[in-house]
Amino acid sequence: MSIIFPLAVRPVTVKGRNMLEQLIENVHLITLDPEREGAYGVLENAWVSLHEGKIHSLGQSQAPEAEVTVDGQGQFISPGLVDCHNHLIWGGNRAEEFEWRLQGRSYQEIAQAGGGIASTVKATREASDEVLYQAAAERLQALLEEGVTTVEVKSGYGLSLEHELRVLRIAKQLAKVFPVHISTTLLAAHALPPEFNGESDAYIDLVCQEIIPAAAREGLADCVDVFCEGVGFSPEQCRRVFESAQAHSLPVKGHVEQLSDLGGAKLVAEFNGWSVDHIEYLQAEDVPHLTSSGTVAVLLPGAFYSLKETQMPPIQALREAAVPMAVATDLNPGTSPLASLRLAMNQACVLFGLTPEESLRGVSQYAAQALGLGEQKGILREGFDADLVMWNISHPSELSYGFNLVKPSAILRNGVWV
Ligand code: NIG
Ligand code: FE
């Protein structure tokens, strides 16, 4: 029996020499590279070399020389995991609503009675920057410990110019402190703030004319999101938001078809959006719209589970249309209080019938694509970012199989051991 100890290797940077920075040998690489044949694109008994934060090369024979060589002891290495749908920053919690829902009140009912997103907006506005930062940092830490190296962070609990930008600035601050790439998303069109009660078009004017332009000017958002739903905004209102995003050269995505079918996915596809998220109520016949636009379908089994939803996303139609399927936590205080991407992987298999390989690709290859990072992250390939996770497992399916059974034995972000 061999016992694997955590590897005690630290960042190495030797500048000015024509050597590779580091080589990890004696590993099985779960490349997930679509250009490699075989399940998971696995390269057995392989090595990977890293240089200046990128994967320099990888292979099975003739490993190059490097300043530092690490013995991977026969472990597996996967790409760093990517959580492509996450509402990380919020104030308060909604445990009380959890109790109400268990007593039979629906999510929509609670939202209409002033609970739901509105109650988190109130708590978020009242919280100081420090309190929001600290709470988000703890949630982020839980994700990073599981091997997540890229996280999307949405606004959407501020719902005013001041508070939406404040939340995005906190996200940028987290990215400076933690070893993670953060992709920021402006979700000002998440819900109607109380001061606009009965005037949703006027709020959409504010989103389009002030909030989006300011976020774009300050470089605070990588993408613009909407909640296209009866308890959110109509397709017409979401279209206006998308037009404003487009005018500011920002890509779009949407929370669509979560509780009903309003045709939101088609709208996102029309704008060549990065992703359509939730999609339990998406009709199979609307799936082909996503193929032509290259939009990723983001499955959020944590929200499906928490809401005890029974309507299944059209998985088979997505497969048949070769629409890439990502999986994410949807970490939020209402419908998915889930700070575990690994559990979301398991849920995607058990609840939605994904294979463990689809599930792993959903939190790496396709999740990176859903954040516009498909050319840099999510697979192990020369030139891609050296975001790697080492696992003491005997098969990649173990990553989807257990609940908190397997933890990373080492994590590298941009080639640096963290
Ligand atoms: O992704 N669908 C809308 N937004 C969140 C829920 C937010 C909340 O209830 O606080 C979601 O499920
Ligand atoms: Fe969400």
Q: Is residue 16 scored above 50 in pLDDT? A: no
Over the stretch 37-72, which tens digit does the pLDDT of each residue have? 999 999 999 999 999 999 999 999 999 999 999 999
Give the mean pLDDT of the chain: 95
What number does the ligand 1 atom closest to the CA of 232 have?
A: 3
Both tokens of residue 68? 């530092």
- Confirm whether 2-79+379-417 and 82-370 share one CATH topology: no
What number does the ligand 1 atom closest to the CA of 157 have?
A: 10
Higher pLDDT, 3 or 155: 155
Both tokens of residue 196? 């606009």
Q: Which residues contact 35 (CB under 8 A, 6 or more apart)?
A: 41, 381
Across 303-324, b (16+ Cβ under 10 Å) vs e yields: bbbbbebeeebbbebbeebebb
Question: CA–CA separation, 411 vs 69, rounded Å?
Answer: 16
- For residue 242, with 0-12 CB atoms within 10 Å meaning exposed, 13-18 middle and 19 or more buried, which class applies? buried
CATH 2.30.40.10 fits 2-79+379-417, yes or no: yes
Q: Helices 161-177 & 129-145, crossing angle to 10 degrees?
A: 50
Q: How do 81-83 and 148-154 pair as beta strands?
A: parallel
Sign of CA dihedral 141, 145, 149, 151: negative
Three-state DSSP state, 362 = helix
SS (H, E, C) 204-247: HHHHHHHHHHHHHHCCCCCEEEEEECCCCECHHHHHHHHHHHHH
Residue written as tokens 């999307």? Answer: 152
The pLDDT value given to residue 169: 98
CA 381 to ligand 1 centroid distance, Å:
35
How is 306-350 classified by DSSP, letter by letter? HTT--PPP-HHHHHHTT--EEE---BBTTTB----HHHHHHHHHH
SS (H, E, C) 19-43: CEEEEEEEEEEECCCCCCCCHHHEE
Q: Is residue 10 scored above 60 in pLDDT? A: no
In this structure, the dihedral spanned by the alpha carbons of residues 332, 334, 336 and 338, taken in order and rounded to 10 degrees, is 60
In this structure, the chain runs to a length of 418
Q: Is residue 282 scored above 50 in pLDDT? A: yes
The pLDDT value given to residue 114: 82
CB of 120 closer than 6 A to ligand 1? yes
CA 117 to ligand 1 centroid distance, Å:
7
User: Is the CB of residue 306 less than 8 Å from the CB of residue 353?
Assistant: no
Question: CA–CA separation, 37 vs 31, rounded Å?
Answer: 10
Return the H-helix or E-strand segment holding 383.
none
pLDDT band for 112, please (50, 70, 90 cuts).
confident
CB of 178 closer than 6 A to ligand 1? no
CA angle (26, 395, 58) in 5-degree steps: 35
Over the stretch 317-328, which tens digit does the pLDDT of each residue have? 999 999 999 999
pLDDT band for 1, please (50, 70, 90 cuts).
very low
Phi, psi dihedral angles at 397 (to 5 degrees): -65, -20
CA 333 to ligand 1 centroid distance, Å:
8
CA 379 to ligand 2 centroid distance, Å:
25
CB of 254 closer than 6 A to ligand 1? no
What number does the ligand 1 atom closest to the CA of 333 have?
A: 10
Would you put residue 298 in left (φ > 0), alpha (ψ -120 to 50) or beta? Answer: beta
Return the H-helix or E-strand segment holding 151.
strand 148-154
Over the stretch 217-248, which tens digit does the pLDDT of each residue have? 999 999 999 999 999 999 999 999 999 999 99
User: Is the CB of residue 28 less than 8 Å from the CB of residue 42?
Assistant: yes
Amino acid at 65: E
Over the stretch 18-35, which tens digit does the pLDDT of each residue have? 567 899 999 999 999 999
Amino acid at 51: H
Amino acid at 39: A
CATH for 82-370, options being 3.20.20.140, 1.20.950.20, 3.90.1480.20, 3.30.1330.40: 3.20.20.140
Question: CA–CA separation, 7 vs 25, rounded Å?
Answer: 13
Sign of CA dihedral 416, 60, 83, 250: positive
CB of 333 closer than 6 A to ligand 1? yes
The pLDDT value given to residue 18: 55
CA–CA distances in Å: residue 245 to residues 54, 195, 221, 263, 370: 31, 24, 10, 19, 17
Question: CA–CA separation, 68 vs 49, rounded Å?
Answer: 10
pLDDT band for 111, please (50, 70, 90 cuts).
confident
Over the stretch 198-221, which tens digit does the pLDDT of each residue have? 999 999 999 999 999 999 999 999
Spell out the domain ranges in the chain.
2-79+379-417, 82-370
Question: CA–CA separation, 230 vs 415, rounded Å?
Answer: 45
Its pTM stands at: 0.95
CA 396 to ligand 2 centroid distance, Å:
28
Both tokens of residue 16? 């000015």
User: Is the CB of residue 154 less than 8 Å from the CB of residue 182?
Assistant: no
Q: Is residue 294 scored above 70 in pLDDT? A: yes
Across 191-201, b (16+ Cβ under 10 Å) vs e yields: bbbeebeeebe
